[in-house]
Structure 1
């Protein structure tokens, strides 16, 4: 067997593998004998089929399989031995004019294209400066969160007259342009949440209504989103997007979720017995929770700022033409238009992965199984807290985390999240972070730029 490599560009190479009968004959003979022992053919007892008969019937197929296996192993071992850092997978050259007899006497030669990873150094120092925002929770955000928690633990009632945040159970009937009921039009029973209606005029018209009261609404202005309209009227989203009619809304019932009282029973349900004993302590806890969530927003912005800065700073090239061919070869349904539209984002993410891997390698950063388990526990704990403030017992949370990571996709995603976290922590330990306090509304405006 002979293997050679030829550079065809800075980031491209072709590996040529030459195979002689001496390389594959023994493997082919063994495969034929193994199949003869297992074969069940008419006229022969099991395990008594002559090897020559198997060779005559299946010899070419077996030869093809063994040569392909030999090629795969040889190429994989060669890349590892030569310590080649490749992108994607090797691509066989399909325009090869050579033809083979496949009769166990052939000398084969196969060529594979490689896309090579660029060599570069990660250049980070204390001269790189980034702003680390400390977001202060504004009163409106705090009150919204407090209201949401109190409503979550509140009781449902049926008031006679609708108020600002009530839920109306209604019947909607499509109207003609002249305001009369549209014959054969849409009629539907629908739930209307007043807190989701953004149009101030329509919102105001739905306050103060009693059972059987009627109002006329512009359905597009009232519900805005085609998916919401479709669900309310039981029609398709396509039809909902095109719908222009007004609707008669008749109130069938008014529901109100009363906010829970700020008492000791309420505090104990949320934080555990005796942890909070008054409204001031409750507000302090909620402020900590909200600012904790805002801290995550600030960390996401810092990570994104670092990501964009380092990508701009390390503007190395990729074997783009090879990668485009590889993407097409490994994604049969990928169209040329989709490839053209998505390639820049793919290349950007690939460059970041290379930078990330370089940082991990240069700094001998380890990602241990315990790190992945802890990350899974934190993720699951945050999800459970969306439904209940009471923390899960540690042993139960650990059990859920192990079950979560048994799914390969969950495990890979969590591993990548830990990898990204450790990478950014390493970067932040080197660069200069300048802390800056900012109000939430100003941060939102800044984050939209």
Structure 2
């Protein structure tokens, strides 16, 4: 077998593989003999099928499989041993002029296009500047979080008249264009959460209602065309909810209100543990600390995104764009030319960042250990659980959840890539200049949304 690489330019090359009969005959014969021993065919005892019979029936397909295996194994081995850094995967060159007999006498030659990784130079110094935001809890955000926690530990009541944030338990019936109930139309009994009503005029009409009140409601307008919420309310599919234009008759059957828990010692102990918080000021301080901890993650993401954007713009490198487009089409048969062009720039930008990451890791001998992956996964799971309850999960139980979570290959790979990015960003922060800036959360949100 002969494998050579012909360089077209700094970013493109062709690998040529020549395979002669002496490279594959022994493997083909061995496979035929093994299959003969295992085959069960009419007229032959099991294991007594002549190899010549198997060769006649399956020799061509066995030869094709053998050649494919040789190509895959030796192409990868060649690239590894010769330290050829490629982007994507080799793409076979289709040559319709070659006409192989596939009878065991062919000298095969196959060509593969490869895209070569460009040389990358990443020089980060104190001259590289980024803004690190210290996000503070504004009054509105803090009040909303406190309200949600108090309601989570509150009790359900049934007031006579509806008010903000109540839930209307109601019968809903689809209406015809003339305003009458549509016979055979959609009917259901469900809960309308007033905090999900987006239209201010409609929300005003739903406040002050009593039991047995009847009104007409445009669900699409009321719920901001949220098909998931509408589908759940009416017990229909989301596709049907998306296209629904009818108004509905709403008959209020009950009004539900979740009262906020009192700020007393029993409440404080339930959330934080016995005696840790003893008054409202301590409670507010704890909640402020908790949400500003969550804001820090948002600020870190903003900083990381700024680093990503600046470095992918400033680190100059060329990519084998024509080859990469060809490879993307070859590996995604349903990808249209329009979709390819629309998404290619983002793909190329992400690929550039991967090359920058790898260069920083290599140049600075950055290690990624299993303990780093485990602790990061543990933090992510802890944050998810705290969305439902501020009380922390027991340490041993959280560790058990984390170990189970990482047994899934996709989860482990995703967290590994996250840790890899974190390590790179930590290195950049240690070298670049970070300008500290305090900012209220609502202003920070405006800043993020404006980008």
Q: Distance in 1 between matches of 2:225 and 2:205?
A: 20
How many Å apart are 1:145 and its aligned residue?
A: 0.2
Paired residues in the alignment total 449
Q: Distance in 2 between matches of 1:96 and 1:432?
A: 58
Compute the RMSD of aligned alpha carbons: 2.0
How many Å apart are 1:53 and its aligned residue?
A: 2.9
How many Å apart are 1:246 and its aligned residue?
A: 4.6
How many Å apart are 1:243 and its aligned residue?
A: 5.0
Matches within 5 A, 1:349-388: 349-388=350-389
The corresponding residue for 2:92 is 92
The corresponding residue for 1:309 is 310
How many Å apart are 1:395 and its aligned residue?
A: 1.9
Matches within 5 A, 1:186-335: 186-227=186-227, 228-234=229-235, 237=238, 240-241=241-242, 243=244, 246-335=247-336
The corresponding residue for 2:339 is 338
Q: Distance in 2 between matches of 1:239 and 1:251?
A: 24
Q: Distance in 1 between matches of 2:419 and 2:426?
A: 10
The corresponding residue for 2:52 is 52
Compare 412-421 and 382-391 and name the one that shifted more: 382-391
In structure 2, the CA distance between the partners of 1:193 and 1:229, relative to structure 1 (3 Å rule), is same
Q: Distance in 1 between matches of 2:36 and 2:195?
A: 74
The corresponding residue for 1:115 is 115
Q: Deviations over 1:305-336 (max 9, x none)?
A: 10000010023221112112211211222222
How many Å apart are 1:60 and its aligned residue?
A: 2.1
Normalised to the residue count of structure 1, the TM-score between the two structures is 0.94
How many Å apart are 1:180 and its aligned residue?
A: 5.5
Q: Distance in 2 between matches of 1:176 and 1:390?
A: 50
Q: Distance in 1 between matches of 2:182 and 2:50?
A: 82
Q: Distance in 1 between matches of 2:137 and 2:152?
A: 21
Tell me if structure 1 keeps the 8 A contact 2:199–2:224.
no
How many Å apart are 1:284 and its aligned residue?
A: 0.6
Compare 296-305 and 195-204 and name the one that shifted more: 195-204
Compare 281-290 and 388-397 and name the one that shifted more: 388-397
The corresponding residue for 2:35 is 35
Tell me if structure 1 keeps the 8 A contact 2:378–2:402.
yes
How many Å apart are 1:279 and its aligned residue?
A: 1.1
How many Å apart are 1:245 and its aligned residue?
A: 5.0
Q: Distance in 1 between matches of 2:234 and 2:62?
A: 62
Q: Deviations over 1:167-206 (max 9, x none)?
A: 0112234556665656666544331111222322222222
- Tell me, which stretches of 5 or more residues in structure 2 are unaligned? none
Are positions 1:442 and 2:443 aligned together?
yes
1:448 alignment partner, SS class: helix
Q: Deviations over 1:12-44 (max 9, x none)?
A: 110111112222222222222222222223333
How many Å apart are 1:209 and its aligned residue?
A: 1.6
1:251 alignment partner, SS class: strand
The corresponding residue for 2:130 is 130
The corresponding residue for 1:169 is 169
Normalised to the residue count of structure 2, the TM-score between the two structures is 0.94
2:431 alignment partner, SS class: coil
Q: Deviations over 1:152-172 (max 9, x none)?
A: 111111111212111011223
In structure 2, the CA distance between the partners of 1:54 and 1:222, relative to structure 1 (3 Å rule), is closer
Tell me if structure 2 keeps the 8 A contact 1:205–1:215.
no
1:170 alignment partner, SS class: strand
The corresponding residue for 2:421 is 420
How many Å apart are 1:272 and its aligned residue?
A: 1.2
How many Å apart are 1:266 and its aligned residue?
A: 1.0
In structure 2, the CA distance between the partners of 1:45 and 1:248, relative to structure 1 (3 Å rule), is closer
The corresponding residue for 1:76 is 76
The corresponding residue for 2:152 is 152
Compare 294-303 and 331-340 and name the one that shifted more: 331-340
Compare 39-48 and 146-155 and name the one that shifted more: 39-48
How many Å apart are 1:51 and its aligned residue?
A: 2.7
Compare 100-109 and 303-312 and name the one that shifted more: 100-109
2:8 alignment partner, SS class: strand
In structure 2, the CA distance between the partners of 1:243 and 1:41, relative to structure 1 (3 Å rule), is closer
Q: Distance in 1 between matches of 2:171 and 2:416?
A: 50
